[in-house]
Amino acid sequence: MGDELRVSQADIFKALAHPVRLQILQMLQQGERCVCELVAEIETEQPNISRHLAILKKDGILGCRKDGLKVMYWVRDRRAFKLLELSREMLKSYWQEKSGVF
């Protein structure tokens, strides 16, 4: 079980390891959004957003549902936002250490 767990954890971190996917998560922090809203706000092509959404969905980070012609996405577990918050805190500490500010 240990190796399988580590591989699954690595998959989650790989899924999060792209600035566009982090931006998508930040946008979804306020609640579910349709693909069209994500495309408009991120200012990239729809196929690119769909590819990123598929990666996040495959690794269990996002859920989705059809709403008429729209596909709505949401974050399945709000603890994903805690991961983002922790990484920001780690970076802030690192940058402060690096600049000599304590």
Domain that holds residue 20: 2-76
Asked if residue 87 is part of any domain, the answer here is: no
For 28-83, the pLDDT digits (tens) are 999 999 999 999 999 899 999 999 999 999 999 999 999 999 999 999 999 999 99
Contact 38, 52 (CB under 8 A): no
Question: Do residues 19 and 42 make contact, with C-beta atoms less than 8 angstroms apart?
Answer: no
Instruction: Give domain status of residue 89, yes or no.
Output: no
pTM greater than the 0.85 cutoff? yes
Residue 90 domain-assigned (yes or no): no
CA distance 42 to 39: 5
CATH number, position 8: 1.10.10.10
Question: Taking Cα atoms as reference points, which of 97, 74, 12 lies closest to residue 89?
Answer: 97
